[in-house]
């Protein structure tokens, strides 16, 4: 089931998945409005959507030209769709102006509220919040959050679940939802509601699920480490649930998210940087490594990934991709010739991103929007490890083992290489330098019985699995059935 879900959602980029799910929610809303299932006028929903879309995309195009960067249009489409789910559906001129203002402010915030080239606040929340403060004095509100209605909850919940699952942030969304439900529900119970009524009221009439799935999960405004994301989710839940007001500033979902973004920035201080292509190295007939020089010192933990932004004539998967860093952290902060490397499969007829990357000349620059991830080794060096790598899934292990070798640290590590190409072991020299035991198997040999035979002390090891979704799902099942209690996974959905 896990592999099947990943195969379906992995066909499109995260941005495209967000666009599709939001469009479905709005299409259902228009249908329900025509059928009088929900209150808003269907033409008001469509009119507001059209105005917000034009304002957001237009402002983004102008801002991108002034900043001399390529506009990320799909990101602006998502922002506009979210604002259309929040702003008051109305065909009145003041309401449309307010909604358009939210879209313009949202687009501009990506260029004005930044830290080292990376926007800090959720654009939609920022646009609605600032437009709402301005509208406070003009008598025109913006943040109505009309999408929070029982009839739309199933579609919203399914979309939120798909996005949180795709981004592997189900735990982050769940922390926010549970805390927000408990805190908001407790307030209703304190005013006389029974617990069941309070629970259903909060879930159906408060935009908790929408906020968790479509806004809190935005990768660019979440901190890189899991514990930091949990802290952010908890902060947003508290700000969402505790009532307060000060003039035009009062408790609202958009303010809660913006405050959470500020907390995320405070505990992580993430920033983007650029990479200059130095060379390409052939790893095998099926894989290539790209080596870059970073524009600054880039501290990261072995096993983490980076997100590349490469302007080009993109296919449906967009302008950004995530790649696990294949080189050790020590090399990225070297005083002389610092390097960061990524490895990838290079099949014929690859994606537009791979083609564009493959056409870059040495000296060309690409942008990294973030480094993140929790697929890191335990600090306790005495813990025996079992690494299962499916093809290019070897890259995080290459970084980790190279880092161990750089530090002269010895660990008990077995690496199981799962490859459809007999004899192919990517980064074999790195594995041997770290004194790891190497085992090669075919995909159909990835079973509990086979692993027990090849690794007799299987149950005493911590498992790490990296590769394509099908390999990750099969390996995780085999390891758990083999008695491995802790299995960490990292998957590659394809590029």
CATH number of 486's domain? 3.40.50.80
**Cα 355 from chain centroid (whole Å):** 23
Residue finishing a domain among 372, 393, 412: 372
Tell me, yes or no, whether 55 lies in a domain: yes
Residue finishing a domain among 268, 292, 325: 268
**CATH number of the domain bearing residue 222:** 1.10.3430
Residues in CB range of 344: below 8 A, 6 or more apart: 287, 288, 290, 323, 354, 392, 495
Looking at the structure, tell me whether residues 91 and 226 fall in a common domain: yes
Could you tell me the mean pLDDT of each successive run of 10 residues in the chain, 495 residues long? 61 83 97 96 97 96 86 90 96 95 96 80 96 80 91 96 89 96 94 91 95 91 89 97 84 95 86 88 89 91 89 67 92 89 78 84 89 90 95 94 94 93 88 94 92 94 91 91 92 53
pLDDT number for residue 347: 66
Looking at the structure, tell me whether residues 167 and 94 fall in a common domain: yes
Looking at the structure, tell me whether residues 284 and 260 fall in a common domain: no
Tell me, yes or no, whether 396 lies in a domain: yes
pLDDT number for residue 348: 61
Q: Which domain holds residue 45?
A: 2-268
pLDDT number for residue 240: 96
pLDDT number for residue 252: 94
Looking at the structure, tell me whether residues 50 and 149 fall in a common domain: yes
The model carries a pTM of 0.78
Looking at the structure, tell me whether residues 118 and 53 fall in a common domain: yes
| Sequence-ordered strand ranges (E) for 252-392 | 273-284, 287-294, 305-309, 320-324, 340-345, 365-372, 385-390
For the chain, the domain total comes to 3
pLDDT number for residue 346: 76
Tell me, yes or no, whether 377 lies in a domain: no
**Encoded tokens for 471:** 């390999």
pLDDT number for residue 4: 64
Looking at the structure, tell me whether residues 262 and 279 fall in a common domain: no
pLDDT number for residue 391: 86
Looking at the structure, tell me whether residues 189 and 217 fall in a common domain: yes
Looking at the structure, tell me whether residues 264 and 278 fall in a common domain: no
pLDDT number for residue 67: 83
pLDDT number for residue 317: 60
Residue finishing a domain among 349, 372, 395: 372
Looking at the structure, tell me whether residues 171 and 109 fall in a common domain: yes
Looking at the structure, tell me whether residues 277 and 264 fall in a common domain: no
Looking at the structure, tell me whether residues 183 and 302 fall in a common domain: no
pLDDT number for residue 321: 82
Looking at the structure, tell me whether residues 254 and 128 fall in a common domain: yes
């Amino acid at each position: 089931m896990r592999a099947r879900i990943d195969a379906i959602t992995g066909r499109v980029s995260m941005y495209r998945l967000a666009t599709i799910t939001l469009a479905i929610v709005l299409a259902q809303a228009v249908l329900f409005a025509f059928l009088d299932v929900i209150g808003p006028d269907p033409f008001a929903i469509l009119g507001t959507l059209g105005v917000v879309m034009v304002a957001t995309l237009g402002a983004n195009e102008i801002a991108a030209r002034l900043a001399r960067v390529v506009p990320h249009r799909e990101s602006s489409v998502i922002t506009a769709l979210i604002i259309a789910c929040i702003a008051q559906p109305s065909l009145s001129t003041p309401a449309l102006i307010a909604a358009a203002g939210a879209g313009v402010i949202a687009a501009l915030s990506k260029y004005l509220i930044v830290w080292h080239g990376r926007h800090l606040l959720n654009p939609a929340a920022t646009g609605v919040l600032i437009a709402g403060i301005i509208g406070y004095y003009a008598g025109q509100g913006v943040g109505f959050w009309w999408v929070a209605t029982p009839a739309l909850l199933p579609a919203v919940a399914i979309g939120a679940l798909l996005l949180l699952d795709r981004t592997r942030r189900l735990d982050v969304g769940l922390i926010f939802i549970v805390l927000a439900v408990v805190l908001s529900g407790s307030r209703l119970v304190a005013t006389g509601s029974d617990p069941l009524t309070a629970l259903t009221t909060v879930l159906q009439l408060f935009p908790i699920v929408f906020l968790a799935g479509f806004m809190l999960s935005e990768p660019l405004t979440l901190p890189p480490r899991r514990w930091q994301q949990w802290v952010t989710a908890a902060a947003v839940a508290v700000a969402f649930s505790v009532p307060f007001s000060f003039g035009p500033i009062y408790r609202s979902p958009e303010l809660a998210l913006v405050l959470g973004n500020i907390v995320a920035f405070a505990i992580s201080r993430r920033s983007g940087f650029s990479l200059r292509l130095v060379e390409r190295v052939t790893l095998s007939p099926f894989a290539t490594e790209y080596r870059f020089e970073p524009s600054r010192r880039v501290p990261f933990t072995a096993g983490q990934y980076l997100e590349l932004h490469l302007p080009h004539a993109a296919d449906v998967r967009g302008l950004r991709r995530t790649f696990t860093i294949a080189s050790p952290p020590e090399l990225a902060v070297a005083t002389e010739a610092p390097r960061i490397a990524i490895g990838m499969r290079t099949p014929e007829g690859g994606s537009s991103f791979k083609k564009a990357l493959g056409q870059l000349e040495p000296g060309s620059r690409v942008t990294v929007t973030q480094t993140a991830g929790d697929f890191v080794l335990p600090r306790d060096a005495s813990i025996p490890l079992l690494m299962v790598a499916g093809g290019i899934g070897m890259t995080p292990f290459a970084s980790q083992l190279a880092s161990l070798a750089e530090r002269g640290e010895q660990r008990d590590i077995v690496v199981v290489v799962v490859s459809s190409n007999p004899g192919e072991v990517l980064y074999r020299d790195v594995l041997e330098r770290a004194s790891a035991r190497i085992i090669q198997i075919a995909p159909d040999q990835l079973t509990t019985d086979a692993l027990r035979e090849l690794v007799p002390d299987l149950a005493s090891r911590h498992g790490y699995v990296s590769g394509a979704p099908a390999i990750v799902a099969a390996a995780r099942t085999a390891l758990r059935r083999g008695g491995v209690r802790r299995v960490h996974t990292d998957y590659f959905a394809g590029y």
